[in-house]
Structure 1
Amino acid sequence: MNVSEARVEGTKKHDRILAVDDSPDNLFLIQAILEDEGYDIDLAEDGFVALEKIEKQPPDLILLDVMMPKLDGYDVTRRVRSNENLAYIPILLITAHEGSSVVRGLDVGADDFIRKPVEMDELQARVRSLLRLKHSLDERDRMAREREDFVSRLTHDLRTPLVAADRMFALMQSGTFGEVSEGMQEAIATMVRSNQNLLDMVNLLLEVYRYEAGRKELTFSRFDFYETIQQIVEELTPLAEEKGLDLQFNCSQDFKRPLVGDRLELRRVFANIIGNAIKFTDTGTVSVGLERDGNHSVLEIKDTGIGISLPDQKTLFERFRQGRHKRSGSGLGLHLSHRIVAAHHGRIDVRSEIGQGSVFRICLPTNPGS
């Protein structure tokens, strides 16, 4: 017995299989074949009883007869797959009719198909195959949960001393611990900026993993798109002026098209993209505009900055993909922005040439639920 077979042998005794068939004789046969392999077998003689059992105690695998009165195997499969509260359960459809549609069964969500009379070796092999798939997906989900828990604990443990250090720096700057020389003020100011950068990165990392683990809950509401962008431009204008840049907002005030979405999350995206345009532009202009595109609203940010090479454009929104420029950050900001926009059923497009600047377009449906 090899390692993989030993693993199956060691785990299958804990697998619970629900067999559903309107024929007691067929159920007896399936039970005899699979109990001999060490599986725990539960039986149901119609689709409604099966759904009750699945809801009460989800099995590891469902063996489901296609042709049953009242509720056939296709309908049971469809209802199981539409239940968002259920984790993935492999479904093996069984039929004695040549006319039963394999395509229909797979389309409604079944994983495999076997015909009667069932051969013992074939049934056992298909069950083993589907349970290996189940175990693999369960292991993947378990590792994802552990990763999310680890990141959550890690970021909490990192955030606590960073917040404490920030408060301590503020007390030092205010002279609480005694007079601070001009040189020390400059040194403390540098430490404050570095500490804040670390805190921002920790918070950003946590947000990325929340999205990737599917644990980020968005709060959708209607908000004023124009007003939100105007506020961001006003907040970032001093930063542009420090660099001698002309930050323009090119949109008439009659642009009264509200958006439906999570305002705080989308605001994070807008501020990040506009802020990046300022960061990577040394001379010239950063132009921000709003426009309509059918049922979508578009935010366009143009700059006269350093531009982005074609290879970098292809990986721009991947996690931890840093650009080649020395000012490039952790590679998380654009990745998170892409995640947030995708969660709103929108998209981010970029056009750029080295030395010619960049154009980012954020296209969002006016109502993502429509």
Structure 2
Amino acid sequence: MSLNNSVKQDRILVVDDVYDNLILLETVLQEDNYEIILAQDSKSALAIVEQSPPDIVLLDIMMPELDGYEFTRRIRQNQNLPYIPILLITAHIYSSVVEGLDAGADDFIRKPFDPDELNARVRSLLRLKHTIDERDHMASLREDFVSRFTHDLRTPLAAANRVLKLMREGMFCSVTPEFAQIINTMIGSNQDLLEMVNTLLEVYRHEAGSKHLKFFPFDIRELVREVTQELKPLAEEKNLDLKVELGEKLDLEPESANMVMGDRIELRRVLTNIIGNAIKFTATGYIDVSLSLDANNVLIKIQDTGPGISQQDQAFLFERFRPGKHTGSGSGLGLYLSRCIIESHQGAINVESEPGHGSTFTISLPK
């Protein structure tokens, strides 16, 4: 079997309400090896696009029912369709290039056109289509690889921790205090690696656009209280004072007071990460978590008495794979993921810090 037989033909949908124009375009395009689909009715053409997306659409602007501009807008508004280049064709000198491009078209050509120019524009748009398809395919492969890779890592890590915990409890042999400490260290290291693997998977889901947030109203005060209570033992182990100021309840109707529209699980992940980091990197002093909100906005501040962060490091703190310079800094993905989650909620996260004077992370969210 020859390699040429396995090469996919590019499918071109040509839409024009004048039959003679369709035949002319078909004749011009037949110079290359394309599969050409002709449609004289714009509504039936739109159905073709939705059922079996072509690789490119050549579209007359002036058509009854759906003109070229509206046809283009409907394609671009359909989130279920892949990227399809659209070349608008018109015989009217007053047709608006601006309106066509704003509607989502990729190129524009006027009749009478030069056949060589038309073919060149089609080839150019098909190259763009192939490049974008290849990029999307690689992104899909990357996400699939990361998903499989992280799953394959999580399973043995979780199993190893179960065995280690049984060992610590003396299920297999007697355990001395020194041996128990070694086991605890191993469990902690496994847990850190497991969290890193989970964070890596979440980062790639966000970057690939496959992370779907679930927005529901929830009590933000209750979430902050829940996270700080869960992390309080970690602060107490280091003799740190974890302070929580939830502010006054708003004088609003009961169903709207202190409620935020968002993905509670993902915002919980952010708070756990930021407050956990504050505890991790603070040797002495306190961590102060404060919540303030009004009718439209939520402001959460996490202040610590840790070593602080230089202005140079602050500039890259929320970038991917940019770990801090503190001892024990992780992969640099936690803060990047937190930024992705907050920005997905149309909010913002930033830091104010000075070396030797602690740090204050501020999370702002719309209600």
Quickly name the TM-score band, shorter chain normalised: over 0.9
- What SS class does the counterpart of residue 365 from structure 2 fall into? strand
Post-superposition Cα deviations, 1:84-126, rounded to whole Å, max 9, x if no partner, equal: 1111100000011110000000001000000000111110110
Q: 1:200 aligns with which of 165, 189, 195?
A: 195
Range with greater deviation from structure 2 (122-131 or 190-199): 190-199
1:47 equivalent in alignment to 2:36: no
Q: Percent identity?
A: 59
How far did 1:283 drift?
2.5
Runs (5+) with no aligned partner, structure 1: 1-6
Please state if 1:20 is matched with 2:15. yes
TM-fit CA distance, 1:281 = 2.0
Query: In structure 2, how many angstroms separate the alpha carbons of the residues matched to 1:115 and 1:172?
Result: 78
The offset of 1:293, in angstroms, is 5.5
**Aligned ranges 1:82-231 → 2 under 5 Å:** 82-231=77-226
User: Which SS does the other structure have where 2:331 is aligned?
Assistant: coil
TM-score (norm 2): 0.93
Conserved in 1, the CA contact under 8 Å of 2:76 and 2:104? yes
**Structure 2 counterpart SS, 1:287:** strand
Matched ranges for 1:252-267 at <5 A: 252-255=247-250, 256-267=257-268
Which residue is equivalent to 2:279? 278
Distance verdict in 2 for CA 1:60–1:11, change over 3 Å: farther
CA shift for structure 1 position 13: 6.1
Secondary structure of the equivalent of 2:173? coil
**Residue pair 1:12, 1:38 contacting (<8 A) in 2 also:** no
- Cα separation, partners in 2 of 1:275 and 1:87, compared to 1, 3 Å: same
The AA in structure 2 aligned to 1:311 is: Q
Greater mean alpha carbon deviation, residues 33-42 or residues 86-95: 33-42
Name the structure 1 match of 2:63. 68
Post-superposition offset of 1:11: 9.4
Q: What amino acid is aligned across from residue 183 of structure 2 in structure 1?
A: I
- Residues paired across the two proteins, number: 359
What is the CA–CA distance in structure 1 between the aligned matches of 2:5 and 2:325, rounded to whole Å? Answer: 49
Contact 2:17 2:41 in 1 (8 A): yes
1:253, distance to aligned residue in structure 2 (A): 4.5
The change in CA–CA distance for 1:28 and 1:11 in structure 2 (over 3 A counts) is farther
Alignment-derived partner of residue 341 in structure 2:
340
Per the alignment, residue 356 of structure 1 pairs with 357
The answer to whether the 8 Å contact 1:78/1:108 transfers is yes
In structure 2, do the counterparts of structure 1 residues 10 and 212 end up closer, same or farther at CA, with 3 Å as the change threshold? farther
RMSD, aligned α-carbons: 1.8
Report the Cα distance in structure 1 between the residues aligned to 2:114 and 2:288, rounded to whole angstroms: 70
The alpha carbon displacement at 1:282 in A equals 2.2
Partner of 1:3: none
SS in structure 2 of the partner of residue 322 of structure 1: coil
TM-score under structure 1 length normalisation: 0.93
Match of 1:81 in 2: 76
Match of 1:4 in 2: none
Q: Deviations over 1:22-60 (max 9, x none)?
A: 111111111111122111110111211110111121100
Change (3 A) 1:348 1:336: same
- Note the C-alpha offset of 1:219: 1.9
Contact 2:12 2:36 in 1 (8 A): yes
**What's 2:233 paired with?**
238
2:38 is the counterpart of 1:38: no
2:270 equivalent in structure 1: 269
Report the Cα offset of residue 168 of structure 1.
1.1
Secondary structure, aligned partner of 1:176? coil
Runs (5+) with no aligned partner, structure 2: 251-256
Cα offset for 1:244?
2.8
Q: Quick check: 1:12–1:39 contact (8 Å CA) kept in 2?
A: no
Mean CA deviation greater in 237-246 or 298-307: 237-246
With 118-127 and 347-356 compared, the bigger mean Cα shift is at 347-356
